Amino acid sequence: MTKYGTLAGGDPEAQQERVCSYCHTPHHAIVDGSDYLPLWSHTLTKTTFTPYKSGTLDAKIDAASMMEGPSKLCMSCHDGTIAVDTHYSFTGTKMLNQDDSLFGTAGVGVNGGLNNDHPIGFVYDGTSNPNGIATGPAAGDPDVSAHIAGKDPYVRNGTATYIGTTLKIEDRLYLSATQGGKGIMTCSTCHDVHNKINQDESGATNYLLLASNKGSSLCLSCHIK
């Protein structure tokens, strides 16, 4: 996780480089009835997000419930309205209105727009959950002759592992309270904010990924190409 030590001169967390404090606090944590609040310190987003849509997408996404679990926490910085340094008793000013200095493009989720980003909030594993879409094998080629409407044999099921790791995809799905405890895809299915590996080839950028971007390893962990 990036240190925010330069964001606020009067903020003791910034002065002491207490990076954990921007998300977590051992005392007086936020309690607002959300389903997932790990001693949360950061102000939560109230933005309503527009999900990704495509005629070729088999996943069923409910905009009202797709921000379950870790995704809502991520969007509390990445929605472009709540400052990164708004936490605990501090009112911040530093917005994530763009992704980073490499691209200069609008940040993920700004103005509620997730319609041009990889979809989240859908039931993933179609081999263990009837509402899931992923029916591809954990390894090898798919059996396209067994294709079922609303399923995708070119997406590996949850027992597949992220390329270059022993971590299973199903271990990074969030058990959704609104979808009968089934595992849904969230931001943390691709990203881990506590992950310090998987920098790009230049070593300049770390997207906190669960598999490397090199050779599209992250994408190919799920998608069969």
User: Could you report the per-residue pLDDT of 96-145, keeping only the tens digit for each?
Assistant: 544 444 444 556 777 788 998 999 999 999 998 999 999 999 999 998 88
**Residue 64 forms part of a structural domain:** no
pLDDT of residue 9: 47
pTM of the model: 0.83
Residue 65, in any domain of the structure:
no
**Same structural domain for residues 133 and 169?**
yes
Lowest mean pLDDT among 50-54, 88-92, 124-128, 200-204: 200-204
Instruction: Check whether residue 105 and residue 181 sit in a common domain.
Output: no
CB contact set of 15 (below 8 Å; sequence gap of 6+): 5, 9
Show the domain range for 46.
14-55+70-113
pLDDT in tens, 162-200: 999 999 999 999 999 999 999 999 999 999 988 877 655
pLDDT band of 5, cuts 50, 70, 90 = very low
Whether residue 106 is found in the same domain as residue 127: no
Report yes or no on 2 lying in a domain. Answer: no
**pLDDT score for 188:** 96
In this prediction, residue 58 carries a pLDDT of: 83
CA atoms 139, 140, 146, 151: torsion sign: positive
28-32, 84-88, 137-141: lowest mean pLDDT where? 84-88
135 and 89, same domain (yes or no): no
The answer, yes or no, to whether residue 20 has pLDDT greater than 80, is yes
Percent of the chain at pLDDT above 70? 78
Total domains in the fold of the chain: 2
Residue 60 resides in a domain: no
Whether residue 223 sits in one domain with residue 131: yes
| pLDDT averaged over every residue in the chain | 81
